[in-house]
Protein backbone atom coordinates (compact mmCIF):
# COMPACT_ATOMS: atom_id res chain seq x y z
CA UNK A 1 0.00 0.00 0.00
CA UNK A 2 1.38 3.45 -0.98
CA UNK A 3 0.28 7.01 -0.38
CA UNK A 4 1.81 10.46 -0.80
CA UNK A 5 1.82 13.18 1.89
CA UNK A 6 1.42 16.91 1.25
CA UNK A 7 5.21 17.45 1.32
CA UNK A 8 5.80 14.85 -1.38
CA UNK A 9 6.88 12.05 0.97
CA UNK A 10 5.53 8.76 -0.36
CA UNK A 11 4.84 5.97 2.14
CA UNK A 12 4.76 2.28 1.27
CA UNK A 13 3.74 -0.40 3.75
CA UNK A 14 4.82 -4.05 3.62
CA UNK A 15 5.50 -7.01 5.91
CA UNK A 16 8.73 -8.67 6.99
CA UNK A 17 9.18 -12.44 6.94
CA UNK A 18 7.93 -12.87 10.50
CA UNK A 19 4.85 -10.68 10.00
CA UNK A 20 6.16 -7.39 11.39
CA UNK A 21 5.09 -4.21 9.63
CA UNK A 22 7.61 -2.07 7.72
CA UNK A 23 6.89 1.39 6.28
CA UNK A 24 9.12 3.18 3.73
CA UNK A 25 9.14 6.99 3.56
CA UNK A 26 10.48 8.01 0.13
CA UNK A 27 11.26 11.54 -0.97
CA UNK A 28 10.45 13.08 -4.34
CA UNK A 29 8.36 11.85 -7.21
CA UNK A 30 8.60 8.70 -9.21
CA UNK A 31 6.52 5.55 -9.34
CA UNK A 32 5.34 3.88 -6.13
CA UNK A 33 7.89 1.63 -4.45
CA UNK A 34 7.43 -2.10 -5.00
CA UNK A 35 8.80 -3.58 -1.78
CA UNK A 36 11.39 -6.34 -2.06
CA UNK A 37 10.23 -9.49 -0.24
CA UNK A 38 12.04 -10.41 2.95
CA UNK A 39 14.03 -13.56 2.04
CA UNK A 40 14.89 -14.56 5.60
CA UNK A 41 13.50 -17.71 7.20
CA UNK A 42 12.16 -16.23 10.43
CA UNK A 43 9.72 -17.80 12.88
CA UNK A 44 6.43 -15.94 13.43
CA UNK A 45 7.00 -12.82 15.49
CA UNK A 46 6.23 -13.26 19.18
CA UNK A 47 7.47 -11.20 22.11
CA UNK A 48 5.84 -10.99 25.52
CA UNK A 49 6.56 -8.56 28.34
CA UNK A 50 4.86 -7.67 31.58
CA UNK A 51 3.90 -4.46 33.39
CA UNK A 52 4.37 -4.34 37.15
CA UNK A 53 3.07 -1.44 39.25
CA UNK A 54 5.33 0.14 41.87
CA UNK A 55 2.94 1.15 44.70
CA UNK A 56 5.49 3.47 46.33
CA UNK A 57 6.19 5.65 43.31
CA UNK A 58 2.88 4.80 41.61
CA UNK A 59 4.67 3.99 38.36
CA UNK A 60 4.53 1.11 35.91
CA UNK A 61 7.75 -0.85 35.29
CA UNK A 62 8.22 -2.93 32.13
CA UNK A 63 9.75 -6.41 32.53
CA UNK A 64 10.98 -7.69 29.15
CA UNK A 65 13.43 -10.55 29.69
CA UNK A 66 13.64 -11.47 25.98
CA UNK A 67 15.56 -8.24 25.31
CA UNK A 68 18.64 -9.75 26.94
CA UNK A 69 19.34 -11.48 23.61
CA UNK A 70 18.96 -8.42 21.37
CA UNK A 71 21.68 -7.48 18.89
CA UNK A 72 24.57 -5.64 20.54
CA UNK A 73 27.13 -3.52 18.66
CA UNK A 74 27.55 -5.70 15.56
CA UNK A 75 30.32 -5.12 13.04
CA UNK A 76 29.47 -2.74 10.21
CA UNK A 77 29.14 -5.61 7.73
CA UNK A 78 26.60 -7.29 10.05
CA UNK A 79 24.47 -4.22 10.77
CA UNK A 80 20.75 -5.10 10.69
CA UNK A 81 19.75 -1.53 9.74
CA UNK A 82 21.79 -1.19 6.56
CA UNK A 83 20.11 -1.85 3.21
CA UNK A 84 20.04 -5.48 2.10
CA UNK A 85 22.47 -6.79 -0.50
CA UNK A 86 22.45 -9.81 -2.78
CA UNK A 87 24.50 -11.67 -0.17
CA UNK A 88 22.77 -10.56 3.01
CA UNK A 89 19.19 -9.63 3.94
CA UNK A 90 18.81 -7.23 6.85
CA UNK A 91 15.81 -5.82 8.68
CA UNK A 92 15.33 -3.62 5.58
CA UNK A 93 14.88 -5.99 2.59
CA UNK A 94 15.29 -3.25 -0.04
CA UNK A 95 18.68 -2.24 -1.40
CA UNK A 96 18.10 1.46 -0.77
CA UNK A 97 15.75 3.72 1.16
CA UNK A 98 15.38 7.26 2.46
CA UNK A 99 13.69 6.74 5.85
CA UNK A 100 12.18 3.48 7.02
CA UNK A 101 10.16 2.43 10.09
CA UNK A 102 9.54 -1.13 11.23
CA UNK A 103 8.35 -2.99 14.30
CA UNK A 104 11.21 -3.74 16.68
CA UNK A 105 12.31 -7.37 16.67
CA UNK A 106 13.11 -7.12 20.39
CA UNK A 107 10.37 -4.81 21.70
CA UNK A 108 9.79 -3.73 25.28
CA UNK A 109 6.07 -3.74 24.46
CA UNK A 110 4.19 -5.64 21.77
CA UNK A 111 0.70 -6.23 20.47
CA UNK A 112 1.10 -9.88 21.41
CA UNK A 113 0.99 -8.92 25.07
CA UNK A 114 0.74 -11.71 27.57
CA UNK A 115 2.99 -12.28 30.56
CA UNK A 116 6.46 -13.73 29.95
CA UNK A 117 6.99 -17.45 30.52
CA UNK A 118 7.15 -18.59 34.13
CA UNK A 119 10.59 -18.15 35.64
CA UNK A 120 12.54 -20.37 38.02
CA UNK A 121 10.42 -19.12 40.92
CA UNK A 122 7.22 -20.51 39.43
CA UNK A 123 4.12 -18.77 38.03
CA UNK A 124 3.87 -15.04 38.34
CA UNK A 125 1.46 -13.43 40.75
CA UNK A 126 -1.92 -12.36 39.40
CA UNK A 127 -3.71 -9.14 40.28
CA UNK A 128 -4.30 -5.53 39.24
CA UNK A 129 -0.65 -4.60 39.85
CA UNK A 130 0.58 -6.92 37.08
CA UNK A 131 -0.68 -7.03 33.52
CA UNK A 132 0.50 -7.89 30.00
CA UNK A 133 3.00 -5.51 28.45
CA UNK A 134 0.76 -4.62 25.54
CA UNK A 135 1.90 -1.79 23.31
CA UNK A 136 4.17 -1.28 20.33
CA UNK A 137 7.82 -0.41 19.73
CA UNK A 138 9.11 0.70 16.34
CA UNK A 139 12.56 1.50 14.93
CA UNK A 140 13.02 4.63 12.78
CA UNK A 141 16.10 4.46 10.52
CA UNK A 142 17.16 7.94 9.39
CA UNK A 143 18.98 6.84 6.21
CA UNK A 144 21.12 4.11 4.61
CA UNK A 145 24.53 5.59 5.53
CA UNK A 146 25.90 3.46 8.37
CA UNK A 147 28.54 6.02 9.40
CA UNK A 148 26.33 9.12 9.37
CA UNK A 149 24.51 10.77 12.25
CA UNK A 150 21.40 12.91 12.54
CA UNK A 151 23.59 16.01 12.40
CA UNK A 152 24.79 14.89 8.94
CA UNK A 153 21.26 14.86 7.48
CA UNK A 154 20.03 17.51 5.08
CA UNK A 155 17.08 19.72 6.06
CA UNK A 156 15.05 17.80 3.48
CA UNK A 157 15.84 14.50 5.15
CA UNK A 158 14.99 15.91 8.59
CA UNK A 159 11.64 16.95 7.12
CA UNK A 160 11.11 13.34 6.00
CA UNK A 161 12.04 12.02 9.45
CA UNK A 162 9.60 14.50 10.95
CA UNK A 163 6.91 13.20 8.58
CA UNK A 164 7.67 9.65 9.74
CA UNK A 165 7.42 10.65 13.41
CA UNK A 166 4.16 12.45 12.69
CA UNK A 167 2.55 9.64 10.73
CA UNK A 168 3.59 7.03 13.28
CA UNK A 169 2.27 9.21 16.11
CA UNK A 170 -1.12 9.29 14.37
CA UNK A 171 -1.11 5.56 13.65
CA UNK A 172 0.02 4.44 17.11
CA UNK A 173 -2.32 6.88 18.88
CA UNK A 174 -5.20 5.12 17.13
CA UNK A 175 -4.24 1.68 18.45
CA UNK A 176 -6.49 0.38 21.26
CA UNK A 177 -4.86 0.86 24.64
CA UNK A 178 -2.30 3.50 23.61
CA UNK A 179 -2.13 6.33 26.16
CA UNK A 180 0.99 8.17 24.94
CA UNK A 181 3.35 8.06 21.94
CA UNK A 182 7.02 8.69 22.62
CA UNK A 183 9.54 9.38 19.81
CA UNK A 184 13.22 9.46 20.71
CA UNK A 185 16.80 8.98 19.56
CA UNK A 186 19.75 7.61 21.52
CA UNK A 187 23.17 8.39 20.07
CA UNK A 188 26.57 7.16 21.22
CA UNK A 189 27.90 4.13 23.05
CA UNK A 190 28.24 6.24 26.20
CA UNK A 191 24.43 6.56 26.26
CA UNK A 192 23.97 2.81 25.84
CA UNK A 193 23.29 2.57 22.11
CA UNK A 194 23.48 -1.05 20.91
CA UNK A 195 23.32 -0.28 17.16
CA UNK A 196 25.55 2.55 15.85
CA UNK A 197 23.61 3.00 12.59
CA UNK A 198 21.70 6.31 12.89
CA UNK A 199 18.21 5.50 14.11
CA UNK A 200 15.60 6.27 16.73
CA UNK A 201 12.54 4.60 18.18
CA UNK A 202 8.82 5.18 18.72
CA UNK A 203 6.93 3.69 21.66
CA UNK A 204 3.17 3.34 21.98
CA UNK A 205 2.87 3.34 25.77
CA UNK A 206 -0.14 1.73 27.49
CA UNK A 207 0.10 4.31 30.28
CA UNK A 208 0.96 8.00 30.65
CA UNK A 209 4.69 8.25 31.40
CA UNK A 210 5.53 9.21 35.00
CA UNK A 211 7.39 12.36 33.99
CA UNK A 212 4.50 13.48 31.81
CA UNK A 213 2.04 13.01 34.67
CA UNK A 214 4.21 15.10 36.97
CA UNK A 215 4.63 17.87 34.39
CA UNK A 216 0.87 17.95 33.76
CA UNK A 217 0.28 18.34 37.49
CA UNK A 218 2.61 21.35 37.48
CA UNK A 219 0.87 22.83 34.43
CA UNK A 220 -2.55 22.35 36.01
CA UNK A 221 -1.46 24.00 39.28
CA UNK A 222 0.11 26.89 37.37
CA UNK A 223 -3.06 27.49 35.36
CA UNK A 224 -5.26 27.37 38.46
CA UNK A 225 -2.97 29.81 40.26
CA UNK A 226 -2.20 32.27 37.45
CA UNK A 227 -4.69 31.58 34.68
CA UNK A 228 -1.76 31.21 32.26
CA UNK A 229 -0.02 28.42 30.37
CA UNK A 230 3.10 27.14 32.15
CA UNK A 231 5.07 26.33 28.98
CA UNK A 232 4.30 29.70 27.40
CA UNK A 233 5.51 31.46 30.53
CA UNK A 234 8.75 29.44 30.52
CA UNK A 235 9.37 30.10 26.83
CA UNK A 236 8.49 33.79 27.05
CA UNK A 237 10.88 34.26 29.98
CA UNK A 238 13.74 32.55 28.10
CA UNK A 239 13.11 34.56 24.93
CA UNK A 240 13.02 37.85 26.87
CA UNK A 241 16.18 37.09 28.82
CA UNK A 242 18.25 35.53 26.05
CA UNK A 243 20.77 34.48 28.71
CA UNK A 244 20.34 30.78 28.01
CA UNK A 245 19.28 31.05 24.36
CA UNK A 246 21.06 28.79 21.85
CA UNK A 247 19.17 29.35 18.58
CA UNK A 248 15.88 30.85 17.45
CA UNK A 249 13.84 30.86 14.25
CA UNK A 250 10.46 32.05 13.13
CA UNK A 251 8.74 28.96 14.50
CA UNK A 252 11.16 27.35 17.01
CA UNK A 253 13.36 28.38 19.95
CA UNK A 254 16.21 26.38 21.49
CA UNK A 255 17.52 27.18 24.97
CA UNK A 256 19.26 25.64 27.95
CA UNK A 257 16.72 25.35 30.79
CA UNK A 258 17.45 27.35 33.94
CA UNK A 259 17.32 24.22 36.10
CA UNK A 260 19.16 21.90 33.68
CA UNK A 261 19.92 18.54 35.28
CA UNK A 262 22.53 17.42 32.76
CA UNK A 263 25.88 19.09 31.95
CA UNK A 264 24.65 19.59 28.37
CA UNK A 265 20.89 20.02 27.97
CA UNK A 266 18.89 21.90 25.34
CA UNK A 267 15.12 22.24 25.01
CA UNK A 268 13.55 23.02 21.64
CA UNK A 269 10.06 24.55 21.77
CA UNK A 270 7.71 25.46 18.93
CA UNK A 271 6.89 29.14 19.37
CA UNK A 272 3.21 28.33 19.00
CA UNK A 273 1.61 26.08 21.65
CA UNK A 274 0.67 22.74 20.10
CA UNK A 275 0.08 19.41 21.87
CA UNK A 276 1.89 17.02 19.52
CA UNK A 277 3.68 16.51 16.22
CA UNK A 278 0.52 16.08 14.10
CA UNK A 279 -0.62 19.55 15.21
CA UNK A 280 2.36 21.30 13.55
CA UNK A 281 1.76 23.36 10.40
CA UNK A 282 3.74 22.83 7.20
CA UNK A 283 5.68 26.02 7.90
CA UNK A 284 6.60 24.80 11.39
CA UNK A 285 7.72 21.46 9.99
CA UNK A 286 9.88 23.16 7.35
CA UNK A 287 11.51 25.46 9.91
CA UNK A 288 12.41 22.67 12.34
CA UNK A 289 15.18 21.00 10.35
CA UNK A 290 17.53 23.97 9.82
CA UNK A 291 17.27 25.05 13.47
CA UNK A 292 17.65 21.55 14.92
CA UNK A 293 20.62 20.73 12.69
CA UNK A 294 22.26 23.97 13.85
CA UNK A 295 21.75 22.89 17.48
CA UNK A 296 23.12 19.37 16.90
CA UNK A 297 26.20 20.68 15.09
CA UNK A 298 26.87 23.09 17.94
CA UNK A 299 26.61 20.17 20.36
CA UNK A 300 29.22 18.25 18.37
CA UNK A 301 31.46 21.32 18.22
CA UNK A 302 31.24 21.86 21.99
CA UNK A 303 34.00 19.38 22.82
CA UNK A 304 35.31 18.84 19.29
CA UNK A 305 33.86 15.32 19.07
CA UNK A 306 30.49 13.63 18.45
CA UNK A 307 28.38 14.21 21.54
CA UNK A 308 26.47 11.25 22.98
CA UNK A 309 22.89 12.32 23.63
CA UNK A 310 19.25 11.40 24.08
CA UNK A 311 16.73 13.44 22.08
CA UNK A 312 13.24 12.99 23.55
CA UNK A 313 10.00 14.31 22.07
CA UNK A 314 7.44 15.17 24.74
CA UNK A 315 3.94 14.89 23.30
CA UNK A 316 0.53 15.19 24.92
CA UNK A 317 -1.12 11.98 26.09
CA UNK A 318 -3.72 10.56 23.72
CA UNK A 319 -6.72 11.07 26.00
CA UNK A 320 -5.83 13.18 29.03
CA UNK A 321 -4.30 16.58 29.71
CA UNK A 322 -4.05 17.64 26.09
CA UNK A 323 -5.16 21.19 26.90
CA UNK A 324 -2.32 21.44 29.43
CA UNK A 325 0.43 19.90 27.29
CA UNK A 326 2.95 21.44 24.90
CA UNK A 327 5.07 19.67 22.34
CA UNK A 328 8.80 20.06 22.95
CA UNK A 329 12.07 18.29 22.25
CA UNK A 330 14.57 17.80 25.07
CA UNK A 331 18.16 16.90 24.17
CA UNK A 332 20.67 16.02 26.88
CA UNK A 333 24.08 14.41 27.24
CA UNK A 334 26.11 12.64 29.91
CA UNK A 335 29.36 14.18 28.64
CA UNK A 336 30.56 17.00 30.92
CA UNK A 337 34.01 17.59 29.40
CA UNK A 338 36.09 16.15 26.55
CA UNK A 339 37.39 13.34 28.75
CA UNK A 340 34.74 12.96 31.45
CA UNK A 341 31.21 11.57 31.64
CA UNK A 342 28.56 12.32 34.21
CA UNK A 343 27.55 9.27 36.22
CA UNK A 344 24.54 9.58 38.47
CA UNK A 345 25.75 9.98 42.06
CA UNK A 346 24.12 8.70 45.23
CA UNK A 347 21.80 11.68 45.65
CA UNK A 348 20.73 11.45 42.00
CA UNK A 349 20.24 7.69 41.68
CA UNK A 350 19.01 7.15 45.22
CA UNK A 351 16.82 10.21 45.80
CA UNK A 352 16.31 11.83 42.40
CA UNK A 353 18.12 15.00 43.51
CA UNK A 354 20.21 16.12 40.54
CA UNK A 355 23.48 18.02 40.96
CA UNK A 356 24.77 19.81 37.86
CA UNK A 357 28.50 20.60 37.79
CA UNK A 358 28.09 23.03 34.89
CA UNK A 359 25.98 26.21 35.25
CA UNK A 360 23.28 26.25 32.53
CA UNK A 361 24.30 29.80 31.57
CA UNK A 362 27.84 28.59 30.89
CA UNK A 363 26.61 25.76 28.68
CA UNK A 364 24.36 28.15 26.72
CA UNK A 365 27.24 30.60 26.19
CA UNK A 366 29.57 27.84 25.02
CA UNK A 367 26.96 26.57 22.58
CA UNK A 368 26.38 30.05 21.17
CA UNK A 369 30.12 30.41 20.68
CA UNK A 370 30.58 26.93 19.20
CA UNK A 371 31.10 26.92 15.44
CA UNK A 372 28.62 24.47 13.93
Binding residues for Zn(2+): 79, 82, 146, 197
Which element (helix H / strand E) includes 295?
helix 282-302
Treating both helix axes as pointing N-terminal to C-terminal, what angle do 282-302 and 155-173 enclose, rounded to 10 degrees? 120
Using the Cα atoms of residue 182, residue 186, residue 192 and residue 195 in order, give the sign of their dihedral: positive
* Terminal C-alpha separation, the chain: 40
**How many C-beta atoms lie closer than 10 Å to residue 233's C-beta?**
12
Q: Which one of 72, 199, 222, 267 is the catalytic residue?
A: 199
- In the annotated binding site, the residues are 79, 82, 146, 197
The reply to whether 314 belongs to the active site is no
**How many C-beta atoms lie closer than 10 Å to residue 147's C-beta?**
9
| CB-based contact 283:358 (threshold 8 Å) | no
Q: Residue 227 region, left (φ>0) first, then alpha (ψ -120 to 50), else beta?
A: left
Nearest CA to 261 out of 185, 348, 187, 190 is that of: 348
Which element (helix H / strand E) includes 310?
strand 309-314
Cα separation, 104 vs 98, in Å, equals 18
**How many C-beta atoms lie closer than 10 Å to residue 189's C-beta?**
11
Q: Which residues contact 135 (CB under 8 A, 6 or more apart)?
A: 107, 108, 109, 110, 111, 177, 178, 203, 204, 205, 206
Per-state percent for the chain, helix, strand, coil, to nearest 5: 25, 25, 50
Instruction: Please tell me whether residue 121 adopts helix, strand or coil conformation.
Output: coil
- What phi, psi does 47 have (nearest 5°)? -150, 125
User: Alpha carbon of 170 to those of 26, 164, 202, 260, 321: distances in Å?
Assistant: 18, 10, 12, 31, 17
The residues that are catalytic are 199
Amino acid sequence: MSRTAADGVRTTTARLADGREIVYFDEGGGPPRVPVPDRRDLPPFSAASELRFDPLLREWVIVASHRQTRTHMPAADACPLCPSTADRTTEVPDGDYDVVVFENRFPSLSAAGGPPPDGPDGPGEAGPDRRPGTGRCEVVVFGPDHDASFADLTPRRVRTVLEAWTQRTRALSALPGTEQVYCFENRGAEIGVTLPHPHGQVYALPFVAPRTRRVLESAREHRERTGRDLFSDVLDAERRSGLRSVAAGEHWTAFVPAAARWPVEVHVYPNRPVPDLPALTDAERDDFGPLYLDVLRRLDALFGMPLPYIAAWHQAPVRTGRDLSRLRLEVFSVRRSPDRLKYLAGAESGMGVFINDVPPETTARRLREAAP
